[in-house]
Structure 1
Amino acid sequence: MPASRFHSLYSPWLFPLACICLLAFLPAGCSEGEHNTPLRPNILFILSDQQHYQAWGGEDASFKTPSLDRLARESRRFSHAFVTAPQCSPSRASIYTGLYPHKTGIPGNTGSTLADGSRITGLKRGIRTAGSYFRKAGYFTGYIGKWHLGPVGDHGQDYDFAAFDTIRGGDATTDEEKTRKALEFLAQRPNNRPFALFLNYREPHNIYDYGWKHPPEPLPELAAGMSLPDSYYREDPSTKPRAQTQYMETGPVQRFLHADEIIWKSYRGYYRQRVAHFDQQLNRILAALKEHKLNESTIVLVTSDHGDMDARHRLVYKGPFMYEQLVRVPLIVRVPQAFGGQPAGIDHDLTVNVDLLPTMLEFAGLRVNGLDGSSLVPRLTGKAHDTADFVISQYQNKQKWNHPMRMIRTPGFKYVDHLEGMDELYDLRNDPEELVNLALDASSADIMHRLGDHLEQWLKQHQDPFHQLSATDPEGRPVAPRKVSQARGYRDR
């Protein structure tokens, strides 16, 4: 309820009641300087780019992220947070629309080419993004940084404070400039309206500065003390989809294929440097919240659009795979006590990033029908809630290369259905590194069929056109469908 509505309560006999109601909504222990706290929470949504779920100090001590670590100690952390797609554009489209990529018009990165020769240009006409809902509800809205969803167009009108970066494939604005803009937003916000700020950083996507444009060179200062993951040594490409090897043989990525270990260690060291740079910007934003006395009135959400392979499975960057390092990301949410926030802790149940918009909307008192996600508010406020049996991720293409995949991930297993080529099945409890592909083992037929049936039901329920898609080679040339799986009883199809 906006503060202005309390003016009608100022009658002699209602004034005490009004005071009691107002105090009930104010944060506990707030200082005099915070008495303008809105009755609806502010929303601060911070998105990094290409940060996998272990890429912070709370999961891996080789990452130096004191700000993120401190925030996690004050928040609810979702240890099994997934993305709808392991790529920038489709994942961001899901975050800001609450819909799966096949519904948004962005099944792959904008500018890439589909199998029929058409290009992915941007969001479908009529699709609403987060700012539309919040601004209509009276929020002061802001969008800063990477857009990557095609032309901004009318979506720009949904934000009172807009600093979109719209170049194809990324953004040109430095993260320091984004932070400066965010500080400007916080300083300029009106005191009589709650705000919703969507802040999109580039790091650690700048890992592409190492080895993409120029051959990777040893960086001894970054490689020092850096180890390589177990899957780097134990990966057997012959038991994995051919697309994995094709990726490493294509374009600039092939520079890593036969590189010495110091190059791989330098890659990992450089990635950690980029994550640390994101953490430095996060520190400035969180400090500004405290300076403006907004901590007790602001819900803070920090996550990423997808991960990075970080040398696991002898892979770099991102590509046509569904490994945990690509589809699983950090998700940290701090909810003030005034809005039902619970003590800090870890939620181990599954969630996917289409859940984020419904969550933010519910905290703002808004419910929107037709979204694919489910609100996390019950899980954040200690109320009874249902748990997801599985999550789904989608993959379509990379530049001209169309290699459609669908992943179904349960608490214990992961099945990846490749439209063309070898499928994948992993027992995550016994094989967390995803080294043993059980799709090649006929004894895994029962679990694979069960997961396949769940996936098929989901495809039909959500009108996902997966089986109507087409595959190409990396140059965009059509390839004949061919399926490889012992567990599901076929070799060629």
Structure 2
Amino acid sequence: MNLLFLMTDQHRVDTLGCYGNAHVDTPNLDRLAATGTRFDRCYTPTAICTPARASLLTGQAPFRHRLLANQERNVGYLEDLAEDAFTFPDALRQRDYQLGLVGKWHVGTHRTAASFGFEGPPLPGWHNPVDHPDYLAYLAERGLPPYRISDRIRGTTPNGNPGNLLAARLHQPVEATFEHYLATRAIEHLERYAATGRPFFLATHFFGPHLPYLLPDAYFDRYDPDLVELPASIAETFDGKPQVQRNYSAHWTFDSMPLEVTRKLIAVYWGYVSLVDEQLGRILDRLDELGLAGDTAVFFTADHGEFTGAHRLHDKGPAMYEDIYRIPGIVRLPGAPPQVRQEFVNLMDCTATILELAGCDPAPAVDGRSLVPLLRGEHPAWAPDMTAEFHGHHFPYPQRMIRDERHKLVVNPESVNELYDLRADPHELRNRYEHPELRPVRRRLMRRLYDLLRERGDNFYHWMTPMYDIGALDHDPSLSVFETEETPR
């Protein structure tokens, strides 16, 4: 079976029509969801680009593959996967798959997509590399104007300097945008692969709708800011929460800009989502025209979400809210029924699914589970909860999270822990970790997280052993030989 993997970066679930947004035009992704499986509880293993993408490549959680931070903000972690790390393209090559990757790579510093067998223009970095020779050649061949922006939107940092660029008006026609360029290159790969008759895996990884949102007029002004209902969590006070969240809000300059600017930023973000959807539609339409749809499984997901003002934050960071951990997850498997699933799934499950659909053993994707039974409409026993982790961005900051049907627990070793009742407080505004009525929930989730981390070999559990209510010990936490059953106490 051919495999088409479509991925965006920093993409909020609630910007898609198929996930309930009544304002944003996403007809192509809505059509994909209507003809495939939409996972309503799809999560990233970590809300940061490089570790999440490395987890997709390996089927391993970040603590296991150890690529824990983006190169641009790395503070001492590894910058490349180990040479002997398992990756799914190695397995697919053994099945004679053609491998293509067009777009964002961001899985290391020295080892590129080509190092793992992927064809495609090498496009490094965290955002559209508008000075890349292949993109410049694309513009020149078509007589299109180069990148130029104006009307920059940014706030002011705590020390009085200009904040990071959040959005700007792009003075190019849509055909000249980096998004159109990526779709064009992907279509060229599709056409070439179709002519060979051999199976293919083709990934198209858009850099958007990651900030800054740089859009032509038609998309920058596509949505009226008056349509934007500000997120309820804009009422965030950070009371009873880790101080780092308040610090991040200041870093992203939220309070230095009026709320009408936030509305405009969200409206521009919506425009970016529509631009990307249109380019995805070009790829999907060409797949149909080439007669490949009946033999091709199509995936759509993102590496993580985006705040866009939620919790008075932008970008992502050391706060494990649904805004950045829940991601879109759509898979269309030929012959499988259209459906919506409520199981907890994640990016590493995509890895195991890719392997199974290619006729490979999914077992090396040790932290994933193949979605094929779910895609076929079956109802196997499935985990009732999910976990995620974070290791830092700009500075080390370890976190672990578990959420189930109703509650979410976040463990922050340097600060206060967090517990949210997602049914009573879906916007995660009230930290109820210390509330006595939720003590049984807290204890249950803490023990469940502790057991899962120990089972997986995630040494974060060592801090939890003496610090939290995890019940009676069944091991020596010193990991020593100083005490045995024969040693007098």
Compute the TM-score of the two structures, normalised by the length of structure 1.
0.79
Shift of 1:158: 4.0
Contact conserved, 1:84 with 1:393, CA < 8 A, in 2?
A: yes
The CA deviation string for residues 86-110 of structure 1, in whole angstroms up to 9 with x for no partner, is 1111111111110001111212222
The residue number in structure 2 matching 1:199 is 204
State the partner residue of 1:73: 34
Instruction: Give the superposition deviation at 1:154.
Output: 7.5
Amino acid at match of 1:225: L
Quote how far apart the aligned CAs of 1:155 are.
5.5
Tell me the amino acid that sits aligned with residue 303 of structure 2. D
- Map 1:179-198 onto structure 2 (within 5 A): 179-189=183-193, 190-198=195-203
- For structure 2, the residue ranges without an aligned partner over 5 or more in a row are 136-177, 472-489
Counterpart check, 1:269 vs 2:270: no
Which structure 2 residues correspond to residues 46-445 of structure 1 after superposition, within 5 A?
A: 46-58=6-18, 59-114=20-75, 118-151=76-109, 153=111, 156-159=114-117, 161-167=119-125, 171-172=129-130, 174-189=178-193, 190-207=195-212, 222-233=224-235, 235-250=236-251, 253-254=252-253, 256-337=254-335, 341-342=336-337, 344-370=338-364, 371-399=366-394, 401-445=395-439
Q: In the alignment, residue 362 of structure 1 is paired with which amino acid?
A: E
> What letter corresponds to residue 186 of structure 2 in structure 1?
A
Tell me the CA shift for residue 222 of structure 1: 4.5
Please give the TM-score of this superposition, normalised by the length of structure 2.
Answer: 0.80
Judged with a 3 Å threshold, the aligned counterparts in structure 2 of structure 1 residues 194 and 486 are, in CA distance, closer, same or farther, namely closer
User: Partners in 2 of 1:292 and 1:220 — Cα distance?
Assistant: 32
Query: What do residues 314-341 of structure 1 show as CA deviations (whole Å, max 9, x unaligned)?
Result: 222111111111000111111111xxx1
Per the alignment, residue 172 of structure 2 pairs with none
Query: Do the aligned partners of residues 202 and 461 (structure 1) sit closer, same or farther apart at CA in structure 2, a change above 3 Å counting?
Result: same
CA-to-aligned-CA distance 1:101-122 (integer Å, 9 cap, x gap): 11112122224344xxx24312
Distance (whole Å) between structure 2 residues aligned to residue 170 and residue 82 of structure 1: 24
The CA RMSD over aligned residues, in Å, is: 2.5
SS in 2 for 1:238: coil
Q: In structure 2, the residue corresponding to 1:141 is in which secondary structure?
A: strand
* Structure 1: runs of 5+ lacking an equivalent: 1-40, 211-217, 470-482, 489-493
- Name the CA distance, whole Å, in 1 between partners of 2:357 and 2:314: 38
The CA distance in 1 between the partners of 2:308 and 2:24, in whole Å, is 12
Q: Which stretch of structure 1 is more off in the superposition, 427-436 or 293-302?
A: 427-436
The separation in 2 between residues aligned to 1:78 and 1:154, in whole angstroms, is 30
Deviation at 1:151, TM superposition (A): 3.5
Cα 1:247/1:219, change in 2 over 3 Å? farther
Residue type of the partner of 2:9? D
Q: Once the two structures are superposed, what CA deviation does each residue of 1:134-167 show, in whole Å capped at 9, x if it has no partner?
A: 1111111111111111145385254362323123
Paired residues in the alignment total 416
Whether the 8 Å CA contact 2:349–2:368 is kept in 1: the answer is yes
Bigger shift: 460-469 or 306-315? 460-469
Name the SS of the counterpart of 2:122 in structure 1.
strand
Offset, 1:384:
3.9
Read off the aligned partner of 1:204 and give its amino acid letter. P
Q: Is the 8 A contact 1:355 1:376 kept in 2?
A: yes
Determine if contact 2:12/2:328 at 8 Å carries over to the other structure: yes
Distance 1:197 1:165, change over 3 A: same
- Answer whether contact 2:180 2:279 (CA < 8 A) is retained: yes
